[in-house]
Structure 1
Amino acid sequence: MRLRCLYGAPRLRKHERPLDELVLTVLSQNTSDRNRDLAYARLRERFSDWRAVREAPVEEVEDAIRCGGLAPTKARRIKAILERLGDDDLRWLADAPLQRAREFLCELPGIGRKTAACVLLFAFGRPEVPIDTHVHRVATRLGLLPQRVGLEEAHDLALRYTADFDPYEFHVLLIRHGRRLCAARRPACERCPVADLCPSSRALAPARGR
């Protein structure tokens, strides 16, 4: 795979802490990785465990994660999730039928397919492909996903690639490519190792040649 040669082969270290991953992914919404990690670290410093977060006033949770942005919304969402789960640590998701595990997560307050995919892939190494804006953009440009496909449907369609590609590697390499070369506004097609395979690059070639 050419992207692997360019960016290296990422390797997943599944951590088997699904509740941690779930909260971390909620904190990642509409913010940078740095702010997400800082908000998560401050949340864990403030509270001894997830039960303490569940039982704390929402204002205290909000104050702890303020640096991550959208703190009022995220605090309420995290509290609602933890209250729904009670003492369930979600470790049973490792062995549950994949469809059931996915459906259970998506039934939690404010949780969609991307977050569910993150939990199942990063915590347990289960065959899911989280579709963020970078993965969606690069995959559609390369013709791996249909043009104008929605994010929810894209998750279902991306599953077909897990039979031939490691899902974690597929996810990470498309993110790296989207961040470094295949930008939203000005993709660096002239430096792209897969430009000859990319329908979008071929379509843009005449305009670049002017």
Structure 2
Amino acid sequence: MSTRNEEPTRKSRIRKYKAPEVMEILAPVHGPAEWEPRYNPAEELVYTILSQHTSDLNSGRAYQTLMDTFGTLNAVAEASPEAIEDAIRHGGLAKQKSVRIKTVLNLVHEEVGSFDLSFLGEMPLDEAKTWLKKFPGIGPKTAAIILCFALGMPAMPVDTHIYRVSQRLRLIGPKVNADKAHDLLEPMVPPKDVFAFHVYLIRHGRQICKAQRPKCGECVLAECCPSQGKFD
């Protein structure tokens, strides 16, 4: 028979971290995270399509080969899907991605008249996301990557590492899907910290909070992590 003096369960004792605390603890371990543009927005769009369902190494090689082959995005847009497919073969799913790249580039050019998407940086964040997501194959993650990495806007891309770490820390609930996670995680930290928050969670997921065998014994967040010890 239980009594009021019975020791509370571990679950009830855990004080969950808030996102700013997570950032503060991870910064000395996984920082610094300084933003600098990787590509311009249209180039980032193409690179991000290539990065879907493959490694950074493969997508990087595919993008480099694509640009070495065609030189400009105009030339890519004018090329046949078969020619694009041949150039991006290193990236995997080349047949599907070649059609997607050509389609999106042509739709963007029809609407804008060029591949200069720098105007997105002058739009409110939600409007810029909406503008990008109207194109086929561009969802919350791809839109956030373009705005964050190319334009330095406070958009929070959520990849598999961020999604996993956020759920284990209970920053988001277990039933929240990856698309919804973007909307929930982004406002948890000030806009100026969104990029660093993104980088720290990715690095922590890759190095410590791994999918199969997380290194809870080495984790600086273990003290208040609701999932600590569940993978022993």
TM-score range, shorter chain: over 0.9
Report the AA paired with residue 137 of structure 2.
G
Q: Shift of residue 165 of structure 1?
A: 6.3
The residue type equivalent to 2:96 in the other structure is T
Which of the numbers 139, 147, 164 marks the counterpart of 1:112?
139
Bigger RCO of structures 1 and 2 (CA < 8 A, at least 6 apart):
2
Which residue is 1:18 aligned to? 41
- Larger C-alpha radius of gyration, 1 or 2? 2
User: Does 1:127 find its partner at 2:150?
Assistant: no
Q: What percent identity do the matched residue pairs reach? A: 44
Provide the rounded CA distance (Å) in 1 between the counterparts of 2:75 and 2:192: 40
TM-score, length-normalised on structure 2? Answer: 0.85
Change (3 A) 1:43 1:126: same
- Counterpart for residue 123 of structure 2: 96
Q: 2:75 aligns with which of 52, 58, 66?
A: 52
Query: Is the Cα contact below 8 Å between 1:26 and 1:115 reproduced in 2?
Result: yes
Runs (4 or more) in structure 1 with deviation over 2 Å come to none
User: What is residue 65 of structure 1 aligned with on the other side?
Assistant: 88
Residue aligning to 2:19: none
* 1:79/1:164 CA distance change after superposition, 3 Å: closer
- Asked if the contact 1:128/1:162 (under 8 Å) is kept, the reply is no
* Paired letter, 1:132: D
**SS of corresponding position for 1:199:** coil
Once residues 16 and 164 of structure 1 are traced to their aligned partners in structure 2, the CA distance between those partners, rounded to angstroms, is 21
State the match for 1:182 in structure 2: 209
CA distance in 1: counterparts of 2:44 and 2:67, whole angstroms = 13
What is the aligned-residue RMSD (CA, Å)?
Answer: 1.4
Give the Cα–Cα distance (whole angstroms) in 2 for the partners of residues 55 and 23 of structure 1.
14
SS in 2 for 1:13: coil
Give the alignment's TM-score, normalised by structure 1: 0.93
Unaligned runs of 5+ in 2: 1-23
